[in-house]
Amino acid sequence: MKNAVFFFMFIALAAGIRRTALADSLPAGADPLMGSVVKSDKWKMDRKNNLEFFDGAVSFKNPNYTMRSDHAVYDHSAKLWDIYGSAYILRRFPDSSKVEINCEKGKYSETGQTAFFERGSRQIRMKYYFPDSRELLGLSDKANAEKATGLMSFEGDFSLTTENLYMLSQKGLYRDQDKSFLMYESTPVAVGTKEGYNFAVTAEKMKFFRDSRDIKFYNNVSGWVKDVPSKARE
């Protein structure tokens, strides 16, 4: 979401966990992560296949990032990270906003600077906290992010929820350039309450702007809008 946040999470993960392999060789009291804390119950190196394995309560934490998972694997040859098993990632920002992700599996390619998330028994849960305490919740089965383009795509019952709005489509595309979510396929629908009225609208496509909460509808738009009764009329 904010500033292609998902990439930065995995960059931090890659920079952090991979350095744990050096910890045992450093002098006592040395801090290889400069204030960060990286832990796992087990670690091993497969030198033949150039892989590192981290198992059991894998965690990375510093003032800006928190990551937890059951397992993590780093492929040195492919420069590819795999985290899986109850994965959780939290990123905090200087403006007091933050975003957190819960998923079953995650991958990050250092070479292509792409990130991929996949659901397990539950959907991927992405929650963005605004500085003014507003929240934006996103759910999907799969998500893929590309740093070079500033895009993040979503597949499988993709939904966005605010305190007064619910939107659903089969696929979605987030553009960091204008902070917007394009929702399409399977007749996207938006249901909610805004400025004294409630509504339910469907269209071939719709675009939701994250910060302003504005929505634009495109092609075959249909639905209804009703005034919200005031207390004086009740």
pLDDT tens, residue by residue, 83-134: 999 999 888 888 898 989 999 999 888 888 888 999 999 999 999 999 998 9
Smallest CA-to-CA distance from 111 within 36, 21, 10 is with: 10
pLDDT at 62: 79
Q: What percent of the chain has pLDDT over 70?
A: 82
Q: How many CB atoms lie within 10 A of CB 62?
A: 16
pLDDT band with cut points at 50, 70 and 90 for residue 38: low
pLDDT band with cut points at 50, 70 and 90 for residue 77: very high
Ranges in the chain annotated CATH 2.60.450.10: 1-160, 162-234
Beta bridge mates, 68 = 59, 88
* DSSP three-state, residue 18: helix
Smallest CA-to-CA distance from 144 within 181, 110, 106 is with: 106
Does residue 190 have a pLDDT over 80? Answer: yes
Helices within the chain (DSSP H only) = 5-17
pLDDT at 234: 47
Question: Which of the pair, 230 or 174, is modelled with greater confidence?
Answer: 174
Tell me the C-alpha distance between 3 and 175, whole Å.
10
The DSSP bridge pattern shows strands 197-202 and 98-109 to be unpaired
Kindly report the CATH number that applies to the domain delimited by 162-234.
Answer: 2.60.450.10
Kindly report the CATH number that applies to the domain delimited by 1-160.
Answer: 2.60.450.10
